[in-house]
């Protein structure tokens, strides 16, 4: 299964960092957020990534273009213009870096990679959130309900998109972006999606969190996987500092790889 990561937004709420780099390239420890997210998926054997680029996307391209060099021991022969890799220390990743437009909305970015996904089930998440999520259990949950989309529902302190469930407790009946009330289950990313979801996206100006998710919920095609463990996204400098502190402590809950 392919893993789609949205990495093209401007990240204006953390402009102290994003004036210089795209939000997924904000470093937690010595590696960018994007790397941490990919390591989560890779730990479950999902190693094929489609990264949707936009704002300062060239920096993400340059990071991966030089990844092997930075992660390995090399011998550089200047006289013969040759670089030999002595010891590789890299993940078995296949990465498609796709320019999905500077001002394209989240739904539009997903729509633009339809030809790469084809007609297969795929994962999708945002490039600014980490969690100790059990991806195998998430995928099993998605297949159990057989809906077009599964969203990971979490309960953080701040507000995002709110989910309302049916009587059985898992099928999403209503999706509301940034509700007024506090304490509800919200959109935590880490989706599993079927190719039918592309029909719910009009084009570049479509926000995934609005019409598509709202229509999927109304059509009884959106189910939730409730994650009660660790989840954090980086929206502010304080968020970045908190995650960095957790990482540096050596006990980061999302570090589920060895």
Q: For residue 254, is it within any domain?
A: no
Residue range 118-177, pLDDT digits in tens:
999 999 999 999 999 999 999 999 999 999 999 999 987 555 566 777 767 788 877 777
> Which band of pLDDT confidence, cut at 50, 70 and 90, is reported for residue 78?
very high
Query: What's the pLDDT score for residue 144?
Result: 97
Q: For residue 119, is it within any domain?
A: yes
Which range marks the domain in which residue 194 is found? Answer: 2-247
Q: For residue 257, is it within any domain?
A: no
Q: For residue 74, is it within any domain?
A: yes
Beta bridge partners, 225, equal 152
> Residue 111: in which H helix or E strand, if any?
helix 106-112
Query: Does residue 108 surpass a pLDDT of 90?
Result: yes
Burial class (CB in 10 A: 0-12, 13-18, 19+), 235: middle
Task: Name the domain count of the chain.
Answer: 1
Residue range 195-231, pLDDT digits in tens:
999 999 999 999 999 999 999 999 999 999 999 999 9
Q: Assign residue 214 the CATH number of its domain.
A: 3.90.550.10
Q: For residue 91, is it within any domain?
A: yes
User: Which phi and psi (to 5°) does residue 227 adopt?
Assistant: -105, 115
Q: For residue 209, is it within any domain?
A: yes
* Contact yes or no for 220/164 (Cβ under 8 A): no
Q: For residue 221, is it within any domain?
A: yes
Query: Does residue 180 surpass a pLDDT of 50?
Result: no
Query: What's the pLDDT score for residue 173?
Result: 77
Cα-based distances in Å from 239 to 158, 245, 246: 12, 10, 11
Q: For residue 252, is it within any domain?
A: no
**Which residues contact residue 41 at a Cβ distance below 8 angstroms, ignoring those fewer than 6 apart?**
3, 47, 49, 123, 135
């Amino acid at each position: 299964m392919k893993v789609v990561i949205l990495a093209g937004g401007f990240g204006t709420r953390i402009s102290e960092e994003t004036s210089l780099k795209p939000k997924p390239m904000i470093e937690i420890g010595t590696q960018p957020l994007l790397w941490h997210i990919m390591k989560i998926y890779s730990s479950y054997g999902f190693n094929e990534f489609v990264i949707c680029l936009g704002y300062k996307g060239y920096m993400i391209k340059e990071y991966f273009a030089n990844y092997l060099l930075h992660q390995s021991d090399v011998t550089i022969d200047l006289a013969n213009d040759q670089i030999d890799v002595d010891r590789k220390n890299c993940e078995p990743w296949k990465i498609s870096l796709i320019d999905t437009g500077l001002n394209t909305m989240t739904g539009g970015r997903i729509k633009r990679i339809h030809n790469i996904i084809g007609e297969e089930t795929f994962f999708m998440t945002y490039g600014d959130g980490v969690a100790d999520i059990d991806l195998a259990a998430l995928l099993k949950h998605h297949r159990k309900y057989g809906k077009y989309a599964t969203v990971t529902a979490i309960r953080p302190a701040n507000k995002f998109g709110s989910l309302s469930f049916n009587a059985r407790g898992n099928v999403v009946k209503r999706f509301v972006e940034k509700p007024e009330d506090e304490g509800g289950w919200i959109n935590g990313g880490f989706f599993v999606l079927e190719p039918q979801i592309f029909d719910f996206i009009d084009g570049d100006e479509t926000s995934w969190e609005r019409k598509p998710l709202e229509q999927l919920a109304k059509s009884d095609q959106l189910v939730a996987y409730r994650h009660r463990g660790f989840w954090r996204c980086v929206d502010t400098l304080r968020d970045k500092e908190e995650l960095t502190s957790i990482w540096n402590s050596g006990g980061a809950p999302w570090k589920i790889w060895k």
